[in-house]
């Protein structure tokens, strides 16, 4: 949680001489992180304090008044529409030429002389929002009665300050308050803090009855309450409203403001009820009954269930315990008698209730971080004290305290050797003690230390490690040495999948392909495109949106989408991805995560041969030699038998490639042929090798002959290869050169050019090569009806 | 004899001007210097028949002439040969032939760089499930069912309720879920890096719902905070540059104790403080000493072993490098070739 903390306010509790920058730097290194520091100053100018000395009605407007104000030097009359002005008030007066804030646009404007409904106004009495204080425009800002008149408002209010944005870690709700931060600051800077116990007047003149019954002491370990009477509800003084608004809390009225102020000051959430609205002079802490509802302070109705802890009067729930109060028992302008609540609630219960109701507050956020039950005591005293100062009134009951068990301070016995073991440096016992004492721990003993944890740390400091942390952070992590570990390096085999993934990527990038990364999560359409059985598909139960609702079962659909996204802009597209796919094999188990490779090639021509060449290159670079290209047994989801091949090693299909079928071409609106390829990385890894065996270089020169033949168009290249190679052992290689098709060759004919290489363990004579060549030509004529061109 | 040589020289000078091809030049060379019938060769061969008094003078003159002819031929040959051929239409400004030019994805580059840096100090890269049990992602990391700290992870769940002893299935929101997986292998000591896709329910210009994290974990006897600082500082220097340093500040995670936030000194202002950083430091990730409860969950005795862990977002960390201020991080995961072909 983030807290906005006034540096001046903090300094009321701890003696700090550091500048705010020094404070922020040092504090962040040893305690909680100061994220930002903002200078606070008046955004207005030309505003002075003035006293209202007379008010008359505006001659031409019912809702306006003419107020005469005295600045000590002059008396001027201004037009004012605020309902809360009264003679004797000291108010902020903006004179002509003053700079103010226009709350509608949150920007400055210069006040000009105005004529309002026929009456000239020589200035303006300002509302809080016009001075940039807090968003209130219903009335003018009324200053305290002892405010000097005729002074510059910014000077009188001592606005110059720094507001720090401090990120409080979740384990330290105790540090999320002024007092908590002051304790930390005192320890960090090794100075004293000035946290005084409130001293309210607790004498009872009259006693007003209130009974408190806690039915769920596990969920509410402590409930403190006090009744106060003769209360005057009204606005809080400027300083209180200002502090709340700086912390981002909107001022409401003095009583609600007091509870919020204590939340900021001590980190203890409080609540205030109108005593007269509680039925039966009773507070019961119980679970809600089925069917009960509450209208909360946010103006919404909440349906409660038996899992929700509530504060109830004799009849109905009046608050959701630790989360939010009810509207019907809230303090209003007419309230005369109140009940303050300072209680402690079970963190899990508060968290579950807030979640179930989808109702969150500062209070629930603090309680769910596990506050100490000891914290209610000082809070309720402070509430009485502040009420007596700001709203009049007297206590009308003793401080009621329903406390499930007596608090016993937590004690830890600590072996100082742990410090060296975890920090890597020795810290002297004396210094350890000093640091812990600065943090409020009590320490005794000299070898094994007996440490008493202060109540406000009882929920986060549990054992050795926590003590080490406390000592280390105040000692300063930045003061610890920087050392590379010198212990033995463990010997581990590399994960082969990771190794081959990288090699495959390098090969493909070397061949000119671009690597893509797609989300593992896909939408329904992509899942349909992959066409896997539903039982294999992993569905996310709380997707962010429908575009990322399922885990992909295959890479192909997103690869094809990637082609579709680029096909209008690029003539040539060569992309691939190496990523996991996710397929369920057992309904209630984790899916199998398999690393796969898929890619696509789009060129101007010969897409199939391009992708085939790519696959051949990949296999060659991976030193996979004993593979075969075989026809698909049947059409697969992306390709048809006629225009695709599988890659097979020892009867295992390790991948396929080919042209994208019509179904997918229309699904992804391709205007050109697209070729894809797909492999399982694990299977490539199984056959791949880093080593290629050495083959002796032929000792004798080879001989080469080029041939061009005309054959039927249906004759496949492989048939020519077979017909050539079978002729004689001297034929070592046959290399395809080109195909040529022309009407002049005859109907359904094509011309093929290729190069035959002859090799032997001796120097070949031209004549013997020619003899073999003749045999080849003859064989081609006989078997394939070929004609030499 | 001297007159003969002079006329030979005049003849050569006239003929060499007519040479326009290497063949012409070869013919010219043979004509004058050929071993069998070269005209100058014949003269040189006849020197021995000259009277002693003339032999020296004519000999010197003839040898000098031979040198001149040889030089002239070599010069013309160089001019005629490819490399020296002067073609006034030769266009140096034409673009080079386009060769295959593939592109690795930025994340692959980042992951490789990080992997290599840690491999050099003995950290082995591992891979664990992305679709994971709640137990590994939270429970074993000292975050039981209703712990409020879980909220920080914005987790995608597969199941609404627990389906087995390890709870719900989820998309792992951090690589820390690999910590206990690694401990369960029962191979100590441990030095591992786990770099993996992670998932969180957030999507804006600086957050993609799928992103990459990397995690370092070291467990051994006597592992200290000083060692963690050493490793982090080593990384800062290797990854960002030799002038950079790392520091740790107190923080809180449930699965480490103590826990830290890791800062890297700002490269722009070198620690002085500027608009790019927070008083000289850039926040990069989290770290801490492995919590005894986590060691116990991995069946490792916390009295005997200690360890540290650290981790952060690969994207965030890589895009902190100069020139990589990509305005929307999600661009990485769109297959836009205009973007991907830049790297």
Our CA-based measurement puts residue B23 at a distance from the nearest CA of chain A, in whole angstroms, of 30
CATH of A211-403, one of 3.40.640.10, 3.50.40.10, 3.40.190.10, 3.50.50.60: 3.50.40.10
Interface contact A513-B102, CB threshold 8 A: yes
CATH number corresponding to A2-41+161-189 = 3.30.56.10
Of B152, B209, B289, the CB nearest to A422: B289
Domain boundaries, chain A: 2-41+161-189, 45-157, 211-403, 411-475, 496-687, 703-788
Rounded to 10°, the helix B39-46/B2-18 angle is 160
A591 touches chain B (CB under 8 A): yes
Residues 47-86 of chain A with CB under 8 A from chain B are none
SS3 call for A265: helix
Mean of pLDDT values over B105-114: 97
* Chain A, chain B: beta-carbon pairs less than 8 Å apart: 233
Residues in A closer than 8 angstroms to B210, CB to CB, are: 519-521, 548
Interface contact A487-B121, CB threshold 8 A: no
Chain B residue nearest residue A476, CA to CA: B249
A539 touches chain B (CB under 8 A): yes
Split at pLDDT 50, 70, 90, the class of B343 is: very high
Our CA-based measurement puts residue B141 at a distance from the nearest CA of chain A, in whole angstroms, of 15
Interface contact A509-B197, CB threshold 8 A: no
Name residue, tokens 């020169």.
A701
Interface contact A423-B225, CB threshold 8 A: yes
Of A506, A520, A544, the CB nearest to B203: A544
Residues in B closer than 8 angstroms to A580, CB to CB, are: 130, 197
B90, pLDDT greater than 90: no
Instruction: Evaluate whether A2-41+161-189 and A496-687 have a shared fold.
Output: no
Single out the residue of A475, A480, A469 nearest to residue A172, CA to CA: A469
Interface test mutation site (partner B, options A19, A427, A492, max chain B beta carbons within 10 A): A492
Interface test mutation site (partner A, options B99, B226, B262, B292, max chain A beta carbons within 10 A): B226
pLDDT at A458: 93
SS3 call for B304: coil
Residues in B closer than 8 angstroms to A565, CB to CB, are: 334-336
Would you give the DSSP letter of residue A427?
-
A604 touches chain B (CB under 8 A): no
How far apart CA B264 and CA B288 sit, in angstroms, is: 16
Interface contact B112-A502, CB threshold 8 A: yes
Cα separations in angstroms, A156 against A48, A239, B24: 9, 11, 107
Mean pLDDT for each consecutive 10-residue tract of chain A (789 residues)? 94 95 95 94 92 92 91 91 91 92 86 87 91 87 91 91 95 95 97 92 93 96 97 94 93 96 97 96 96 95 96 96 96 96 96 94 94 96 96 95 92 94 93 96 93 95 92 95 94 94 98 97 96 96 95 98 95 96 96 98 88 97 95 95 96 96 96 96 96 90 93 93 93 93 90 94 92 94 91
- Conformational region of residue A658, where left means phi above 0, alpha means psi within -120 to 50, and beta covers everything else: left
How far apart CA A229 and CA A391 sit, in angstroms, is: 10
Interface contact B202-A544, CB threshold 8 A: yes
Interface test mutation site (partner B, options A581, A590, A621, A676, max chain B beta carbons within 10 A): A590
Number of other residues whose CB lies within 10 A of the CB of residue A576: 29
pLDDT at A317: 97
Task: Quote the radius of gyration of chain B (alpha carbons, Å).
Answer: 39
Our CA-based measurement puts residue B112 at a distance from the nearest CA of chain A, in whole angstroms, of 9
Name residue, tokens 């395809």.
A736
Our CA-based measurement puts residue A61 at a distance from the nearest CA of chain B, in whole angstroms, of 52
pLDDT at B86: 64
pLDDT at A569: 93
Interface test mutation site (partner B, options A483, A506, A537, A587, max chain B beta carbons within 10 A): A483
Element (H, E) at B310: strand B306-313
Interface contact A351-B278, CB threshold 8 A: no
Name residue, tokens 């040198």.
B67
Give every CB contact of residue A259 below 8 A, 6+ residues apart in sequence.
A269, A270, A271, A272, A340, A383
How far apart CA A532 and CA A551 sit, in angstroms, is: 12
A352 touches chain B (CB under 8 A): yes
Of A172, A514, A538, the CB nearest to B340: A514
Residues in A closer than 8 angstroms to B249, CB to CB, are: 28-29, 33, 477
- Conformational region of residue B212, where left means phi above 0, alpha means psi within -120 to 50, and beta covers everything else: beta
Split at pLDDT 50, 70, 90, the class of B85 is: low
How far apart CA A610 and CA B295 sit, in angstroms, is: 53
Residues in B closer than 8 angstroms to A562, CB to CB, are: 335
How far apart CA A92 and CA A142 sit, in angstroms, is: 8
CATH number corresponding to A411-475 = 3.30.56.10
pLDDT at B84: 52
Of A347, A539, A544, the CB nearest to B201: A544
Residues 135-194 of chain A with CB under 8 A from chain B are 169-172
pLDDT at A457: 96
Of A28, A485, A538, the CB nearest to B249: A28
Interface contact A170-B337, CB threshold 8 A: no
CATH number corresponding to A496-687 = 3.30.930.10
| 8 A C-beta contact, residue A203 and residue A309 | no
How far apart CA B194 and CA B177 sit, in angstroms, is: 10
Q: ipTM, 2 decimals?
A: 0.88
Single out the residue of A645, A611, A594, A654 nearest to residue A508, CA to CA: A611
How far apart CA A192 and CA A182 sit, in angstroms, is: 9
Long-range Cβ contacts of B160-168 (<8 Å, 24+ apart): B160/A541, B162/B134, B163/A588, B164/A588, B164/B133, B165/B135, B166/B133, B166/B134, B166/B135, B166/B136, B166/B139, B167/B133, B167/B134, B167/B135, B167/B139, B168/B133, B168/B134
Number of other residues whose CB lies within 10 A of the CB of residue B133: 25
How far apart CA A615 and CA A610 sit, in angstroms, is: 9
Residues in B closer than 8 angstroms to A546, CB to CB, are: none
Residues 470-489 of chain A with CB under 8 A from chain B are 472-473, 477-478, 480-485, 487-489
Our CA-based measurement puts residue A455 at a distance from the nearest CA of chain B, in whole angstroms, of 20
How far apart CA A251 and CA A242 sit, in angstroms, is: 8
Reported CATH class of domain A703-788: alpha beta
Reported CATH class of domain A45-157: mainly beta
Our CA-based measurement puts residue A413 at a distance from the nearest CA of chain B, in whole angstroms, of 16
A709 touches chain B (CB under 8 A): no
Split at pLDDT 50, 70, 90, the class of B29 is: confident
Show the tokens assigned to A727.
């002729």
Whole-prediction pTM: 0.85
The per-residue pLDDT for range A174-227, each reduced to its tens digit, is 999 999 999 999 999 999 999 989 999 999 989 999 999 999 999 999 999 999
Of A508, A518, A540, the CB nearest to B158: A540
Of B108, B163, B171, the CB nearest to A515: B108
Chain B residue nearest residue A599, CA to CA: B335
Peptide bond into B189 cis (omega under 30): yes
| 8 A C-beta contact, residue A232 and residue A391 | yes
How far apart CA A190 and CA A119 sit, in angstroms, is: 62
pLDDT at B82: 57
How far apart CA A717 and CA A753 sit, in angstroms, is: 11
């Amino acid at each position: 949680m983030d807290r906005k903390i006034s540096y001046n306010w903090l300094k009321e509790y701890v003696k700090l001489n550091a500048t705010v920058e020094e404070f922020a730097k040092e504090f962040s290194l040893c305690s909680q992180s100061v994220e930002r520091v903002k200078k606070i100053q008046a955004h207005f100018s030309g505003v002075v304090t003035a006293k209202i000395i007379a008010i008359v009605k505006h001659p031409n407007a019912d809702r306006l008044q003419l107020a005469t104000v005295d600045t000590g030097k002059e008396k001027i009359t201004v037009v004012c529409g605020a309902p809360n002005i009264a003679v004797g008030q000291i108010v902020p007066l903006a004179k002509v030429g003053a700079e103010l804030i226009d709350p509608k646009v949150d920007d400055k404007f210069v006040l000009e002389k105005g004529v309002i409904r026929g009456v000239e106004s020589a200035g303006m009495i300002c509302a809080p929002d016009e001075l940039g204080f807090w968003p209130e425009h219903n009335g003018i800002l009324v200053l305290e009665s002892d405010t000097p008149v005729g002074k510059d408002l910014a000077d009188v209010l001592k606005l110059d300050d720094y507001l720090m944005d401090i990120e409080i870690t979740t384990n330290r709700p105790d540090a999320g308050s002024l007092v908590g931060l002051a304790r930390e600051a005192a320890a960090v800077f090794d100075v004293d803090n000035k946290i005084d116990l409130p001293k309210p007047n607790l004498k009872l003149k009259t006693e007003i009855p209130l009974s408190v019954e806690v039915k769920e002491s596990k969920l509410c370990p402590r409930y403190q309450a006090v009744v106060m009477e003769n209360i005057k509800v009204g606005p809080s003084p400027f300083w209180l409203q200002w502090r709340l608004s700086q912390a981002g809390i909107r001022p409401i009225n003095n009583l609600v403001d007091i509870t919020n102020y204590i939340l900021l000051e001590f980190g203890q959430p409080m609540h205030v009820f109108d005593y007269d609205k509680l039925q039966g002079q009773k507070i019961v802490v119980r679970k809600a009954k089925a069917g009960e509802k509450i209208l909360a302070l946010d103006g919404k109705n909440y349906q409660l269930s038996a899992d929700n802890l509530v504060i109830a009067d004799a009849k109905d729930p009046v608050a959701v315990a630790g989360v939010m109060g009810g509207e019907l028992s809230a303090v209003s302008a007419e309230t005369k008698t109140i009940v303050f609540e300072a209680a402690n609630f079970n963190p899990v219960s508060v968290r579950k209730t807030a979640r179930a109701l989808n109702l969150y507050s500062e209070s629930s956020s603090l309680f769910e971080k596990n506050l100490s039950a000891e914290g209610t005591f000082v809070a309720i005293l402070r509430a009485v004290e502040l009420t007596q100062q700001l709203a009049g009134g007297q206590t009308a009951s003793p401080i009621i305290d329903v406390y499930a068990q007596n608090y016993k301070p937590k004690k830890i016995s600590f072996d100082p050797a742990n410090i060296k073991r975890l920090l890597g440096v020795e810290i002297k016992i004396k210094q350890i003690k000093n640091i812990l004492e600065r943090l409020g721990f009590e320490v005794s003993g000299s070898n094994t230390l007996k440490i008493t944890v202060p109540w406000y740390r009882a929920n986060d400091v549990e054992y050795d490690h926590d003590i080490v942390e406390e000592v280390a952070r105040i000692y300063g992590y930045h003061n610890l040495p920087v050392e590379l570990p010198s212990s033995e390096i463990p010997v581990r085999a590399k994960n082969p999948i990771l190794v081959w993934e990288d090699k495959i990527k390098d090969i493909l990038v070397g061949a000119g392909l671009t690597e893509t990364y797609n989300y593992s999560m896909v939408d329904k359409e992509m899942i349909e495109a992959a066409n896997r059985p539903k039982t294999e598909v992993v569905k996310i139960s709380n997707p962010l949106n429908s575009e990322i609702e399922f885990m992909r079962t295959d890479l192909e659909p997103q690869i094809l989408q990637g082609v579709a996204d680029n096909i209008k802009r690029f003539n040539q597209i060569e992309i691939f991805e190496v990523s996991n796919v996710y397929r369920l094999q057992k309904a209630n188990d984790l899916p199998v995560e398999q690393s796969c490779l898929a890619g696509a090639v789009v060129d101007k021509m010969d897409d199939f041969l391009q992708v085939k060449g790519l696959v051949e290159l990949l296999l060659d670079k991976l030193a996979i030699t004993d593979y075969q290209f075989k026809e698909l047994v049947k059409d697969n989801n992306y390709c048809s038998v006629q225009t695709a091949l599988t890659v097979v090693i020892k009867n295992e299909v390790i991948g396929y490639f080919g042209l994208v079928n019509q179904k997918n071409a229309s699904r992804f609106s391709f205007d050109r042929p697209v070729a894809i390829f797909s492999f399982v990385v694990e299977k490539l890894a199984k056959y791949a090798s880093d080593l290629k065996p050495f083959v002796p270089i032929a000792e004798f020169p080879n001989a080469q002959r080029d041939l061009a033949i005309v054959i039927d168009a249906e004759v496949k290249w492989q048939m020519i290869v077979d017909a050539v190679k079978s002729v004689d052992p001297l034929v070592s290689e046959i290399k395809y050169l080109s195909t040529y098709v022309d009407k002049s060759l005859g109907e359904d004919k094509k011309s093929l050019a290729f190069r035959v290489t002859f090799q032997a363990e001796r120097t070949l004579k031209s004549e013997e090569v020619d003899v073999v060549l003749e045999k080849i030509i003859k064989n081609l004529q006989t078997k394939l009806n070929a004609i030499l061109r | 004899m001297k007159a003969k040589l002079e006329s030979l020289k005049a003849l050569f000078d006239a003929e060499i001007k007519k040479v326009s091809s290497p063949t012409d030049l070869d013919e010219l060379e043979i004509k004058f210097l050929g071993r069998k019938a070269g005209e100058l060769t014949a003269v040189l061969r006849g020197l021995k028949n000259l009277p002693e008094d003339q032999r020296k003078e004519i000999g010197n003159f003839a040898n000098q002439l031979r040198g001149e002819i040889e030089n002239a031929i070599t010069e013309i040959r160089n001019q005629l040969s490819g490399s020296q051929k002067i073609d006034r239409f030769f266009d140096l400004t034409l673009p080079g032939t386009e060769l295959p030019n593939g592109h690795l994805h930025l994340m692959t580059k980042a992951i490789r760089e990080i992997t290599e840096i840690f491999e050099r100090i003995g950290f082995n890269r591992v891979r664990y499930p992305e679709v994971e049990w709640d137990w590994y992602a939270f429970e074993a990391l000292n975050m039981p069912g209703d712990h409020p700290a879980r909220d920080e992870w914005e987790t995608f769940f597969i199941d609404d309720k627990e389906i087995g002893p390890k709870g719900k299935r989820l998309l792992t929101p951090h690589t820390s879920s690999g910590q206990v997986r690694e401990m369960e292998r029962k191979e100590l000591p441990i030095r591992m890096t786990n770099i993996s896709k992670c998932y969180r329910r957030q999507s804006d210009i600086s957050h993609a719902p799928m992103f990459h994290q990397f995690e370092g974990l070291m467990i051994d006897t006597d592992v200290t905070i000083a060692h963690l600082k050493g490793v982090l500082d080593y990384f800062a220097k290797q990854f960002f540059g030799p002038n950079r340093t790392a520091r740790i500040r107190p923080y809180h995670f449930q699965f480490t104790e103590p826990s830290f936030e890791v800062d890297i000194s700002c490269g722009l202002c070198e620690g002085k403080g500027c608009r790019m950083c927070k008083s000289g430091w850039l926040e990069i990730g989290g770290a801490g000493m492995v919590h005894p409860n986590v060691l116990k969950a991995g069946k490792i005795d916390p009295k005997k072993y200690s360890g540290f862990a650290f981790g952060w977002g690969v994207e965030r960390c890589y895009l902190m490098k100069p020139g990589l201020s990509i305005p929307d991080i999600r661009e990485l995961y769109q297959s836009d070739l205009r973007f991907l072909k830049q790297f």
